[in-house]
Each structure stands twice: as structure tokens, then as C-alpha cells.
Amino acid sequence: MVATHVPSSIFLALLPTSPGLPATISLLVARSLLNSMDQAPRSAFLSVVVLPEERTVVMGVVNILKTLSQSGGPWVTGLLAGGNHFWVAFVAAGTLKGTYDVLLLAFFAGRVAPRKAAILAEQDDRSQRVEGERTETETDGPDESEAEDDLLPKVHPQA
């Protein structure tokens, strides 16, 4: 997530410095290509880090905060544009988005590996239990030689 979103934030912050239309379009296209890669990894990341019983609440809070923060942006941008400081909106947005990603990485960096290891251990325990149940079920049925005999065609002697 950080590998794609931080460059996207940098491209956003660099928009006011672009010398012409081709450079501006290039920055916008590069930003849009990298920015859309952020959605699914963020949800997957939060799903791994957050406990299953807390997952719905955390995802709801994240979506509410994201919506609230996006709704204030146009108002602030309008004020900046009215004061002939439109460029500040791009620099501030890029800086805030980049800071958000770096802080998210710093806060959760040590928590993902232990949580992922715990999930993998739990899945391994489940698969061992299922494998043990299969072994018990298989021993209750006919042994392998009897099963093979059932697959062979029956030859009846001529009377």
C-alpha cells in the first residue's frame, strides 16, 4: 500500500510545480494509476491486523472518517482558490496523504507479522484436525486390499 500510495501523494504535491500541460497531465495520469491500487490492499491490511470481532466496527469507522475528511476538502480548496493560493491545496493534500501512509506503516509494521503468523498457525491446526478426522473415517471403512478387489472385474468360472 505504501509503495504505491506514497508516490501517488508525491505526484499530487508536485502538481503546482509542473512547467506545462504535458507534465501536468503526466503527473495526473501517474497519480490516478497508483492511487487506485490503494483500496483493496488497505482493506486486506486492516482485515489482517484487526481482530475478527472488531473488524466490522473498524471498517465502518475508517469509511466514516474517510467520507468526513473528503467532504471538507472542497470547502478548504474553495477558500484557498479565492485567496489565489490554489497551489497550497495540492501540496497540503499530497503531504497529508503521504504522512497518513507513513504513520500507518509505522504504527502497524510490527503487528502484521505476529498476527499473520497466528492466523497461519490457526489454519494449520484446523487442517491437522480435518486430516485426523479423515484418517479416522478411512480406518473405519474397508482396508485397501478389499477396496482394490472391488474395483477389479469379477470373473465367473464357466459351469
On the question of pLDDT at 158 being above 70, the answer is no
Number of CB atoms found within 10 A of residue 35's CB: 17
Mean pLDDT, range 91-102, rounded to an integer: 85
Residue of higher predicted confidence among 143 and 3: 3
On the question of pLDDT at 75 being above 70, the answer is yes
pLDDT tens-digit readout, 108-138 = 776 656 656 666 667 677 777 766 666 555 5
Looking at the chain, the whole-number percentage of residues with pLDDT higher than 70 is: 65
Q: SS3 for 147?
A: helix
Residue of higher predicted confidence among 143 and 80: 80
d(CA 26, CA 130): 54
On the question of pLDDT at 95 being above 80, the answer is yes
pLDDT tens-digit readout, 7-24 = 888 888 888 988 899 999
**Is 46:65 a contact under the CB 8 Å cutoff?**
no
Instruction: Specify the residue for cell string 491490511.
Output: 45
How far is C-alpha 9 from the geometric centre of its chain's CA atoms?
18
Q: What is the pLDDT of residue 35?
A: 74
Q: Is the model's pTM score more than 0.75? A: no
Give the chain's mean pLDDT.
75
Cα R_g (the chain), whole angstroms: 29
Q: What is the pLDDT of residue 1?
A: 61
4 CB-near residues (< 8 Å, 6+ apart): 34, 35, 37, 38, 41
